[in-house]
Amino acid sequence: MAFPTTPTNGQTTSVNGTTFIYNSTNGTWTRVPADAYSSASFANGAFLAANAAYARANTQILIVAVNDDSSNVVVGSSLASFRAPSAMTLTSIPRATLNVASTATPVLNVDIKLSGTTILGSNKLTIDQNEKTSTTAATPTTLTTTSITDDTEITIDVNNAGIGAKGLKVIFYYTS
């Protein structure tokens, strides 16, 4: 079987037993990993971003250093500020990492904003005492927005710096 000649965005097809999905933004067909595909993975012709295997296969990473690896993290607004390099769709919650963990409370607390508005739920991105990553946070966060338009200003605020934490970086996972 050949690819359809007039596909619609999110349309799937099978060629020689391999499933592909069409992206009308760039006019390409992308192979869907066998472990990612099920008919329930598609709704209204669009691939669900929640399908982790597909998202991982197409995710790009952007790492932003909030401070250097040997300096203590400090509290402040817009400690890192940059512009989105392209239109981006976040595929998962950004991750905060440290070079040196905080040795005491308060818990390190980070907020991420698009043009001054947070993209995180009421609980912000946190790194617990004696840990170096937000992935194991006792109080997880959620995303309130996943869509970032090209050239949007993105800022990173630190609401609580912990004690002795050094080398804060925020990692964004996205597709463009």
- Is residue 2 included in any domain, yes or no? no
**Which structural domain range is residue 38 located in?**
12-58
Q: In whole angstroms, what is the distance from residue 105 CA to residue 131 CA?
A: 11
- The CATH number given to whatever domain includes residue 110 is 2.60.120
Residue 55 C-beta-side C-alpha neighbours within 13 Å: 16
What average pLDDT is seen over the chain? 82
The stretch 20-35 carries a mean pLDDT of: 63
Do residues 118 and 148 share a domain? yes
Helix (H) or strand (E) holding 111: strand 108-114
pTM of the model: 0.69
Give the confidence band of 45 by pLDDT, cuts at 50, 70, 90: very low
Whether residues 33 and 114 fall in one domain? no
**pLDDT tens digits for 75-112?**
999 999 999 999 998 888 999 999 999 998 889 999 99
Domain contains 134: yes
